[in-house]
Amino acid sequence: MTLNIAIIGNGKIAEVLATKLALGGHNICIGLKEGEKFYDQPLFDTFTNMQDCSIEDAGSMADLVIIAVPPKDVREVAYWLGDMKGKVIVDMTSTYFYDLSNYINTVNAIKAISGTQHIVKCFSAVDYMELLPAATKDRRSIFVAGNSKKGKEVMRWLAADLDFDTCYDMGEEEAIASLEQMAMTWMNSVLSHEKVLVPVKKY
């Protein structure tokens, strides 16, 4: 099944997600603010099934919207998306790159503004390097949380297109804070082993 997927964000994660999902045969629209240009413009010459557009147009055309912006920008993006009733939104904002002590429940903010109940949290414990083609045969997993069965089913289905072996259901919305803590644990683990963490480009 081919989906129309909007990715809202202007960074490395948005680029890698767009590339892999376009290779999977999906139609991709990268939603940008007015006057903003995607930092990797040549990507649009490579894929005929990928384009950039306004956030409003991205929300209008999409069956699925992936929000990949800093937490502080989520409410603004949700307003720009407009009425999303019945559509699936994946919130992949990474609170652990910011101040976890000032935790922002971005899923509730999106739900209150967008009009859709099909919102899930996913990818918050994933760095863009983990979205690149796997160098080994090691099993890789992603984790999803939220109340929407439809949203979780979409993520389980897309996991293969993104080269993940499994998409684990961590629970309903009360499990979202645990996903953020998991992300922080992952971050600390990387740093404690003195591995090089390649920073994500600023959105």
**Residue 105, domain CATH:** 3.40.50.720
- pLDDT at residue 161, as a whole number: 85
- pLDDT at residue 202, as a whole number: 42
Q: How many residues does the chain have?
A: 203
How far is residue 19's CA from residue 154's CA, in Å, rounded to a whole number? 18
Q: Are 43 and 11 in contact (CB under 8 A)?
A: no
- pLDDT at residue 110, as a whole number: 92
Considering the domain boundaries, does residue 11 fall inside one?
Answer: yes
Considering the domain boundaries, does residue 24 fall inside one?
Answer: yes
- pLDDT at residue 136, as a whole number: 47
How many domains is the chain built from?
1
pTM of the predicted model over 0.75: yes
Considering the domain boundaries, does residue 201 fall inside one?
Answer: no
For residue 153, the one-letter residue type is: E
- pLDDT at residue 172, as a whole number: 93
Residue 202, Cα to own-chain centre: how many angstroms? 15
Strands 141-145, 118-122: parallel, antiparallel or unpaired by DSSP?
antiparallel
Q: Are 36 and 13 in contact (CB under 8 A)?
A: no
Q: Are 120 and 151 in contact (CB under 8 A)?
A: yes
Q: Are 123 and 194 in contact (CB under 8 A)?
A: no
How far is residue 144's CA from residue 161's CA, in Å, rounded to a whole number? 16
Considering the domain boundaries, does residue 200 fall inside one?
Answer: no
Neighbours of 14 (CB within 10 A): 28
Q: Which two tokens stand for residue 62?
A: 């999409």
Range of the domain at 165: 4-192
Per-residue confidence of the chain (203 residues) as pLDDT tens digits? 899 999 999 888 888 889 999 999 999 999 998 888 887 788 889 999 999 999 999 999 999 999 988 888 899 999 999 999 999 999 988 765 555 555 567 888 899 999 999 999 987 655 555 565 554 455 578 889 999 999 999 999 988 888 888 889 999 988 888 877 776 666 666 555 544 444 444 43
65, 79, 90: which is closest to 148 by C-alpha? Answer: 90
How far is residue 82's CA from residue 80's CA, in Å, rounded to a whole number? 5
